[in-house]
Amino acid sequence: MNWAKLLMTDCAAHLRPVNYSDYVENYMPNSIIDSLTKIVGAKSVLNAAAEMAPFLSDWHDRYHGKAHAVVLPATTDEVSQVMAFAESENIVVVPQGGNTGFMGGATPDATGNTILLSLRRMNTIRDIDVQNMSMTVEAGCILQNLHDITEEKGLYFPLNLAAKGSCTIGGNLGTNAGGLNVVRYGSARQLTLGLEVVLMGGKVIDLLGGLRKDNTGYDLKNLFIGSEGTLGIITAATLRLFPLPVARSTAFAEVRDVEAAVTLLHRLQAASGGTVEAFELIPADILHVLFDKFPNIPQPLKTRGAMNVLMEIASTNPASGNVDATGSLPLNQIIEDVLASAFEDGLVIDATIATSDAQRQSLWDVRENAPESHKLSGNVARSDVSLSQSDLAPFYAEMVAGIKEIDPTIWICGYGHLGDGNLHFNLVEGPNSNSDFNEKVPHLYELLYRNVAKYNGSISAEHGIGQTKRDQLASVKSPEIMDTMRAIKTALDPKNLMNPGKIL
């Protein structure tokens, strides 16, 4: 495997912004702007550089692209007309939701022959069907708004990620977003019952609907989900809703090691009847960096253990929030029993269970402020990998040993969604290093992806491929898999006008 090649993109992206060129004023013929204006109206066609700029660079400001115009359609029909126009003129279309992705998947390239299609104005909630526990919403709906509106109905939409205040459900589906609650409810894919997609050329594929079982032909829905806008534009979706949890129990435990954490997860799953909502791995270095930058967050345990877990279970049974005959909360009792027996077996060293909402929030503060503390700390080599649960412990051990060899001062912040085998193995520049961190980055990524390959892991658990990992994907997947993906791409987008240069 050509490690040098596959590391190119990752490292380049890490080390400096990819400035393809400076912005230039739009050079598109007026007749084409006129055509787009006729479809969506003048207010919804942006082509001044300053107006377009926020749409043409990514969240981390690493990629900068060009476009003829940013077009903001308000309806599926308008999207369809834009796609028909784009195909007739051989113009590339790059779809974009909240523009919060990490892989440059929604940023066009430098050629400029692109319509940046923002779905933000398509933000209608078309239907909430309480009896079917589903809702049909348009792609531009902000995730947090979907949380709020379903909670008002006493229901729960469990997709939950850091960008929820600005990411859109269309982007979430385009990238098959994951987040904190996947261990119980699955990723975006598992939460989707139906989909509406516009193909290049303007054909609308209407797969909307609230059916839970439907074996009528190929699974087009899951093909479009996670295809990052390279096969079609997701304009709306029918999403599953769940009973709203009425009680939660949250605990923070120091565990013996990663293997003990996995065993603890299985015990908690069995004891709670599969109601583990979150199970996050938190190594000591996460705590060191965090409390350095956020000294006001309370430390969960007296000492900072080498390996820790933040866990939460939730119940939808109204009775589970009430104190029982013995004076304890049934949910807390489940966690307490599991932790007590794990303590006896040497899996758990110390633990605390939140007994108030404030305490619960303090525990979550540790997890939720970790990414920001890394950013404040300086240079970071970030990642998003997944492993089988049985491979997590040996993988973790090899990573730690390898990193110590490269530079023992690096903060090893390999944390994340243990319940899904998904680690964000962030490596943060330590305070006492006397060498250039950036020079070590290629070696750190080489170590990471060598071990991911060794343990049959994934190079992208939840962030997708975009342009950042495009070359890497081709180097880790078999030619048979790449050929099959390319055959599907060509079948659905023969002119390669749908978000080209992403994934494939």
The yes or no reply on residue 344 touching its own copies (CB under 8 A) is no
Q: Is 176 in the site for its own copies (CB under 8 A)?
A: yes
Nearest distance, CB of residue 353 and its own copies, angstroms: 18
Q: Residue 47 interacts with its own copies (CB under 8 A)?
A: no
List the beta strands (DSSP E) in 272-347: 276-283, 307-315
DSSP 412: E
Per CB under 8 A, contacts with its own copies among 476-495 are 476-478, 480-481, 483-485, 487-492
User: Does 386 participate in binding its own copies (rule CB under 8 A)?
Assistant: yes
Nearer Cβ to its own copies (214/439): 214
Q: How far is CA 420 from the centre of its chain?
A: 13
- Cα Rg for the chain, rounded, in angstroms? 24
d(CA 99, CA 358): 32
Q: Residue 318 interacts with its own copies (CB under 8 A)? A: yes
Nearer to its own copies, 43 or 213 (CB): 213
Q: Is 222 in the site for its own copies (CB under 8 A)?
A: yes
In the window 275-304, what residues touch its own copies (CB under 8 A)?
275
Q: Does 151 bind its own copies (CB under 8 A)?
A: no
For its own copies, which residue of 97, 210, 229, 501 counts as binding (CB under 8 A)? 210
State the minimum distance, in angstroms, from the CB of residue 263 to its own copies.
8
Considering the complex, what minimum distance in angstroms separates the CB of residue 1 from its own copies? 15
Among positions 118, 369, 460, 468, the unique one binding its own copies when judged by CB under 8 A? 460
Rule CB under 8 A: choose which of 70, 199, 237, 363 binds its own copies: 199
- Residue number, 48 or 340, with CB nearest to its own copies: 340
| E strand spans, 67-109 | 69-71, 92-96
Applying CB under 8 A, the site for its own copies has a residue count of 98
Instruction: Write out the binding residues for its own copies, residues 419-448 only, by CB under 8 A.
Output: 420-422
Residue 171 binds to its own copies (criterion: CB under 8 A): no
Count CB neighbours of 436 within 10 A. 10
Closer to its own copies by Cβ: residue 124 or 458: 458
| Nearest to its own copies of 31, 478 (CB atom) | 478
The single residue among 2, 216, 356, 432 that binds its own copies, judged by CB under 8 A, is 216
Tokens at residue 394, please?
Answer: 């040996």
If binding is defined by CB under 8 A, does position 180 make contact with its own copies? no
User: Do 223 and 229 touch, CB atoms closer than 8 A?
Assistant: no
Backbone torsions φ then ψ of 215, nearest 5 degrees = -105, 60
Residues 160, 141 contacting (CB under 8 angstroms): no
Dihedral sign for Cα 46, 52, 54, 55, please: positive
Angle, CA 161 vertex, CA 502 and CA 291 arms, to 5°: 115
DSSP 337-361: HHHHHHHHTTSEEEEEE--SHHHHH
Residues 49-78 that bind its own copies (CB under 8 A): none
Whichever of 78 and 407 has its CB closer to its own copies, that residue is: 78
Non-local (6+) Cβ contacts of 148 within 8 A are: none
Tokens of 406: 């490269």
Pick between residue 91 and residue 492 the one whose CB is nearest to its own copies: 492
Contact track, its own copies, 405-424, x by CB under 8 A = ------------x--xxx--
Give me the residue label for tokens 């779905």. 119
Six token digits for residue 238: 């029918």
Fill in the per-residue mask, 94 to 133: x = in contact with its own copies (CB under 8 A), - = not in contact: -----------------------------------xxxxx
Bridge partner list, 398 = none
Q: In what order do the strands lie in the sheet with 125-129?
A: 125-129, 134-138, 233-240, 192-198, 204-207
Stretch of 83-91, 360-368, 369-377, 384-392 contacting its own copies, by CB under 8 A: 384-392
Closest Cα partner for 177 from 254, 97, 247? 97
Nearest to its own copies of 86, 410 (CB atom): 86
Measured distance CA(304)–CA(289) in Å, rounded: 12
Per CB under 8 A, does 270 bind its own copies?
Answer: yes
